[in-house]
Amino acid sequence: MSFSTTAVVGAGTMGNGIAHVLALNGLDVTLIDVSEDALRNGTDTIAENLARQVKKERITAAEREATLNRVSTHTDLAQGVADVDLVIEAVTETTEVKGPIFETLDEAAPDHAILASNTSSISITWLAAQTSRPEQVIGMHFFNPVPIMKLVEVVRGLETSNGTHDAVQALAEDLGKTPVEVNDAPGFVSNRVLMPMINEAVFCLMEGVADEEDIDTVMKLGMNHPMGPLTLADFIGLDVCLGIMEVLHRELGDDKYRPCPLLRKKVTAGHLGRKSGQGFYAYDG
């Protein structure tokens, strides 16, 4: 199946990035969130990031305008998905929030629609079990910043059909991304590998092995990572990192995934990284 009308649920960093890429590639997108403020922030960010692409001569001003015209907004989830071929959910990473959303999507989206989740660690099989169409539920895990990062992890739940998988893989390719098929397992591949590395960097900091800048410099210059692990943790959000470590620890039952106490302390203090202005580093504005 090919898609023409889509909806993205959640207008935050990942949601607006996904809407940006869908609309830039010619798809109509309804961006859905609970408040007009959240939607305005999301569409403002899309407009700014498209302007950045025009400035860098990656796209034309006319393409920017056409892209923005393909994005509409809605605060009502059921109405927003009533006429779409594909929904990509990108809301807060908790089962309490995602579960009811998948129940509503199942009731309100057309029978043929595929329900995808951008979750970074919640089981696709569990999300599928909240619906009556588990064969049409799949993970479509994008990376921040979505307009730039090439990878999409395409995550098969236990009952995801081949047809759903093939359609989503083809879409990811049409969006200029490289899809990688992975099975449903805690953290998939990306966060199973990335988060323990970040967590270990926080242990290094807590134990005084080196300071923030030096830990990051080791990984940037020694391993050619574009950002050091502590800068990257601030970029992702320390609450998100902690949440993923907790999923790995709980679901895999191995203490090698124990979240570092300093990571937990930072989150308790509200030091969530760039979005709160303070994480391992301080940020202006």
Question: Footprint of ligand CAA on this chain (CB under 6 A)?
Answer: 49, 52-53, 56, 58, 120, 143-145, 147-149, 190-191, 226-227, 232, 236, 240
Q: Point out which residues pair with 72 in neighbouring strands.
A: 30
The Cα 277–Cα 284 span in angstroms is 6
Choosing from 141, 165, 199, 271, the catalytic residue is: 141
CB of 230 to ligand CAA, least distance (A): 13
Nearer to ligand CAA, 1 or 252 (CB): 252
Write the CB contacts of 269 (distance below 8 Å, at least 6 apart in sequence): none
Residues paired with 138 in a beta bridge: 116, 156
Using an 8 Å Cβ cutoff, are 81 and 32 in contact?
A: yes
Nearer to ligand CAA, 72 or 144 (CB): 144
Shortest distance, CB of residue 141 to ligand CAA, whole angstroms? 6
Q: How far is the CB of 120 from ligand CAA (least distance, A)?
A: 3
Q: Can 153 be counted among the known catalytic residues?
A: yes
Catalytic residue among 16, 93, 123, 153: 153
Q: Smallest gap, in angstroms, from Cβ of residue 162 to ligand CAA?
A: 25
Q: Which residues contact 114 (CB under 8 A, 6 or more apart)?
A: 1, 3, 85, 86, 87, 136, 137, 138, 164, 167, 168
CB of 116 to ligand CAA, least distance (A): 15
CB closer to ligand CAA, 6 vs 49: 49
* Nearer of residues 149 and 158 to ligand CAA, judged by Cβ: 149
Q: 121, 191, 212, 271: which one is catalytic?
A: 191
Catalytic residue among 49, 117, 120, 123, which? Answer: 120
3-class SS letters over 219-242: HHHHHCCCCCHHHHHHHHCHHHHH
Our answer to whether residue 120 is catalytic in this structure is yes
Q: Which residue, judged by CB position, is nearest to ligand CAA in the bound state?
A: 120
For the chain, the residue count is 285
* CB closer to ligand CAA, 58 vs 250: 58
Sequence-distant (6+) residues with CB within 8 A of 148 are none
Of 269, 247, 271, 246, which is closest to residue 259 (Cα–Cα)?
246
Catalytic residues: 120, 141, 153, 191
